Amino acid sequence: MNTARRILTMEMALLKARKYCDKAERAHADVRRKLVNWGVGFKDREHIIGVLISEDLLNESRYASAFVNDKFRFNKWGIARIKSALKSKGVSDRNIADALKRIDPRAYKLELKELATKKLASIKGDSKRVKSQKTAQYLIRRGYEPSLVWTILQMGTEDSDDIGC
């Protein structure tokens, strides 16, 4: 059995990369990593990235917007965690800032309040102070800003109109 790595021609790698980018929005770093895994050399990698950008199959701004939308709506992540994840993908600060502006502040606070309410209800048997501390730790790990978390927790979670949106 031959265990040698199969070498892709640039044309084959470009075709594969197009298919990869067609399936979902991709970060430039993810595409580069794939090309490296496929054994594509540096010059060919950079050429392929350029072609994908020129064909609008690879667009960092669009990727950042889709990432922010998905992580906020479906994963319920806060801004800090989203920003950190995008930075780790090599997305520019400008594209991160532009994408984060698309989060509606009211929806953000309402989501935080809903998560806080659910977490507080799930903690059994502890004092109110301990429940608040555990809930704050949970929300901060999810990427919500500590000052906003504590404001929400101090105001209580009963009335969603009190969150200052």
- The arithmetic mean of pLDDT across residues 83-90, rounded, is 97
Domain map (residue ranges) of the chain: 10-54, 60-100, 105-162
The pLDDT-based confidence of 82 (bands split at 50, 70, 90) is very high
- Angle between helices 105-122 and 146-155 in degrees, nearest 10: 60
Residue bearing the bigger pLDDT, 76 or 8: 76
Contact between residue 48 and residue 37 where contact means Cβ atoms under 8 Å apart: no
* pLDDT value at 3 more than 50: no
∠ Cα 34 53 59 (to 5°): 85
Which tokens belong to 31?
Answer: 């595409």
Q: What is the pTM of this model?
A: 0.87
Summarize pLDDT for 11-23 with one digit per residue, the tens. 999 999 999 999 9
Question: Cα separation of 161 and 109, whole Å?
Answer: 10
pLDDT above 80: residue 44: yes
Say what angle helices 146-155 and 128-141 make with each other, to 10 degrees.
150
- CATH topology for 60-100? Arc Repressor Mutant, subunit A (1.10.10)
Report residue 2's pLDDT band, with 50, 70 and 90 as the boundaries.
very low
Residue 38 clears pLDDT 60, i.e. is over it: yes
Average pLDDT over residues 124-137: 93
